Every structure is written in C-alpha cells, then in structure tokens.
Amino acid sequence: MSNRRGLLIILSSPSGAGKSTLSKRLIAWDPSMSFSVSATTRTARAGEVDGVDYYFKSRDEFADLVASDGMLEHAQVFGNSYGSPKGPVEGAINQGRDVLFDIDWQGGQQVRASSLGKHVLSIFILPPSISELERRLHTRAQDSDEVIAGRMKKSRDEISHWDEYDYVLVNDDLDQTEARLKTIVMSERMRKSQQPWLMDHIRTLNTEFEERR
C-alpha cells in the first residue's frame, strides 16, 4: 500500500491564545511535518536565506505566480506581497508529509478554496477568557501596552470567524490542548481523501469477488 497523502494543517487564533507554541510542539512531535514557507516581494534582511525563511520574489515573479494559480493564498501587507506558493506544498503532501500553516482566517479561506482545499485540516485556538488572553500578552513581555491594546482590539474580529474551522479548541491547559490537537491530526490522517491507495485496494477486492463466481 502506498503512503498516505499529507494534510494542509491550518492553525489560527488571536495573538496570545497559544498558536505558536502549539505549532512548535506539533513539529517536535512529528519532525516530518514542516511549516509552509511564504513567498514575499520584500527585500531579504541580513541573515535570511531564500527558500528557508522566505521565497524572495520580484513583484513580476509574484504576480506571475498569482496569475498562474501558483499561490494558495496571498495578501498585501505594508506595501509588500506575501503568499503561500502551491508547488512546494503540493510536493510535500504528495510525499505524505503534512504542512503546517500559521495564517489568519482570511488566508485560511483562500487555502480552503484552492485546488488543494480537500486536503485542508483547519483548527481554531480559543483562549479560556478575554482577561486570560490579555494576561498572556502582558506576561510574554514582547509588546508595548499600545501594541497589546491593538492586538486585543483585533482579537474580537478574529474570534468571530471560529465557526469557519473544522475544529475549535479552547486552550485552557497547554498540555491537554496539545494532546487533543495530536488526536485530531492522527484521526484526520485517515480520511478517505488522504488514503490514495484505497481505490486500488477496493478494485482488488472486487476482482477477488469476480474470481470467486
């Protein structure tokens, strides 16, 4: 039997709900899983490597990819284009490797509507409460009070899209949420759409029925 087909795993959440930590734990659990590498038209910064940090593209190259259905999702951010090239993702899932997307609900909509949409597993991570979400943002001490206020304001709109996802997890305990996340991934790997060998196996069974006549 041939290998399964990989999943496009979309994790979304408001900032501070635990998405980044859970993503890292998934990769540590299954190192064959990889993050989707985005393409961008912005200039590479010192130390960034093409194909590792980003695929750095000219504006014309990026536009050509979009026009030729070579992007699973794309958006404009502060005057530069960002997106997820389809080719590397398609190659990975055809080899049975899952690809993890750390994108917002808008990017998730585009990926689900793409030609690879049937292989998408989308999961939204919710905080246990808004006060806890704010506490986590302050505790990690990465942002100013002004930035945190902006993130909190944006979180309401992000949370409003929870019903567009296949699964929703409330991250009230990180270890328990990680365990539930792994259970979802293991179950979804057994979807019919992820088992390309099944049709050949069914044909073989039907042939055996015919031979018994």
CATH number for the domain harbouring residue 160: 3.40.50.300
65-93 pLDDT, tens digit per residue, is 999 999 999 999 889 999 999 999 999 99
What pLDDT, on the 0 to 100 scale, is given for residue 12?
A: 93
What pLDDT, on the 0 to 100 scale, is given for residue 77?
A: 86
Give 82's strand partners: 40, 75
Locate 155 and state its tokens.
């979180």
Domain region containing 181: 8-36+97-211
Amino acid identity of residue 139, one-letter, is T
- Cα dihedral across residues 159, 140, 27, 100: positive or negative: positive
Average pLDDT for 136-156: 88
Rounded-to-integer distance, Cα 124 and Cα 168, Å = 5
Amino acid identity of residue 150, one-letter, is G
Read off the pLDDT band of 141 (50, 70, 90): confident
Q: Is residue 14 pLDDT above 90, yes or no?
A: yes
Q: Tokens 């305990």 sit at which residue? A: 173
In a domain, 127, yes or no: yes
Rounded-to-integer distance, Cα 154 and Cα 17, Å = 13
In a domain, 144, yes or no: yes
- The closest alpha carbon to 38, from 83, 99, 68, 86, belongs to 83
In a domain, 103, yes or no: yes
DSSP symbol at 62: H
In a domain, 63, yes or no: no
What pLDDT, on the 0 to 100 scale, is given for residue 41?
A: 97
The answer to whether the beta carbons of residues 100 and 27 sit under 8 Å apart is: yes
In a domain, 181, yes or no: yes
Rounded-to-integer distance, Cα 10 and Cα 81, Å = 20
What pLDDT, on the 0 to 100 scale, is given for residue 1?
A: 42
Locate 48 and state its tokens.
């960034």
Q: Say how many domains are in the chain.
A: 1
Read off the pLDDT band of 102 (50, 70, 90): confident
In a domain, 24, yes or no: yes
Mean pLDDT taken over the chain: 93
In a domain, 79, yes or no: no
Alpha helices, DSSP H only, in 5-141?
A: 19-29, 59-67, 86-94, 105-112, 130-139
DSSP symbol at 153: H
The model's pTM: 0.87
In a domain, 54, yes or no: no
Q: Tokens 């390309």 sit at which residue? A: 196
Q: Is residue 2 pLDDT above 70, yes or no?
A: no
Read off the pLDDT band of 119 (50, 70, 90): very high
Q: Is residue 134 pLDDT above 60, yes or no?
A: yes
